Amino acid sequence: MRLARLLPLTAALLSAPSLAATREVTLEVPGARLAATLQTPDGPQHARPPVALILAGSGPTDRDGNNPLSGPGGTYRKLAANLAARGIATLRPDKRGIGASTLADPREEAQTFGDFVNDARAWLTWLAAQPGLGPVAVIGHSEGGTVALAAVQGQAGEAPSPARAVVLLAAPGEDIGATIRRQIGQNPANPPALVEETGRILDALGRGERVAEVSPVLAPVFRPSVQPYLISSLGYDPQRLIASQTLPTLIVQGDRDLQVRPEDARLLAAAQPAARVHLARGVNHVLVPAPLDPAANFARYGDAELPLERGVVTAVVEFLRGALR
């Protein structure tokens, strides 16, 4: 029965590439050469289609949504195929230092959160200048949601962002420091001394100070080479960012997400009451149906053949059609 329910959507997903054209594009920005896939609906009926920039989540996640830590799930590839089949173009870039996007300085300590924000702004400007494309939106997944909210903010002395709509998929509703404090503090396996050390480190990073001594158990989170990135990230509060922008916004959140809570969607919606919210029942962090068991849920992350949940696709398509018409 489960297979029978999935077959129609699977067939549509697999047929989508034949309805779309893809080409590789590159963009030179300060400190990096960025690479991306532009996917457009095929056929004369799709002259100057609306286009969405898809921004990846944290870590070594590539343009397709594949991550060596969770597998080749292809979330963004699937999303792009679904949107192209419904008349919406997409640009999905590799983040700087990931995939085909290269860095002038590849050291981890040389990277900041602001680099990703500036790269997203550069891609939005590039998309708006393409004569074959129509109005522009930005879709941010997970940490990419915070990048998206920051990228559409107006900057003094510069033209307003060309983006006309924002879609947040499983995006955090709190800054990274609050998330780290909560996750470490709520884990009953963590001793009080570890929780206290976490707080001290985050307090120092919040003041812009680097911390030389970090316990081995906390090194994966606070290793010296990643601290400049964390310091820069702490300045980006998703609630403040969403409250200060007036673009049409859709917030999509699965209730079986192991990484971002439905509470995060509520925090974002409270900060921007005009935003539309879609709570996806039975959906995990990579936007596919998932069981309650955490191990089985995580196993779905790397399933390249599992289609995105139908309701998520419908919500995104209907929102973009309305916002970009």
Tens-binned pLDDT, residue by residue, of the chain (325 aa): 333 333 333 333 333 444 579 999 999 999 999 999 999 998 766 789 999 999 999 999 999 999 998 999 999 999 999 999 999 999 999 999 999 999 999 999 999 999 999 999 999 999 999 999 999 999 999 999 999 999 999 776 778 899 999 999 999 999 999 999 999 999 999 999 999 999 999 999 999 999 999 999 999 999 999 999 999 999 999 999 999 999 999 999 999 999 999 999 999 999 999 999 999 999 999 999 999 999 999 999 999 999 999 999 999 999 999 999 8
Question: Domain boundaries in the chain?
Answer: 2-173+238-323, 176-235
Which token pair is 172?
């955090």
Phi-psi group of 157: left, alpha or beta (phi > 0 → left; psi -120 to 50 → alpha; rest → beta): left
Burial class (CB within 10 angstroms; exposed 0-12, middle 13-18, buried 19+) of 21? middle
Q: Which long-range contacts (CB under 8 A, 24 or more apart) does 72-77 make?
A: 72/302, 72/304, 73/286, 73/288, 73/300, 73/301, 73/302, 73/303, 73/304, 73/306, 74/304, 75/141, 75/286, 75/287, 75/288, 75/308, 76/141
Query: What class has domain 2-173+238-323?
Result: alpha beta
Q: Is residue 158 classed as helix, strand or coil in its secondary structure?
A: coil
- The Cα–Cα gap between 213 and 219 comes to 9
Specify the pTM: 0.91
For residue 22, give the DSSP letter.
E
Which token pair is 86?
């419904």
Reported as a single tens digit per residue, the pLDDT across 21-46 is 999 999 999 999 999 999 999 876 67
Q: Report which residue type is found at 286.
A: V
Which residues, including other chains, have CB under 8 Å from residue 87's CB and lie 6 or more apart? 41, 45, 46, 49, 50, 321
Which residues, including other chains, have CB under 8 Å from residue 309's CB and lie 6 or more apart? 254, 280, 282, 283, 287, 288, 289
Length of the chain: 325
* Strand pairing class (89-93; 32-41): antiparallel
Q: Is residue 153 classed as helix, strand or coil in its secondary structure?
A: coil
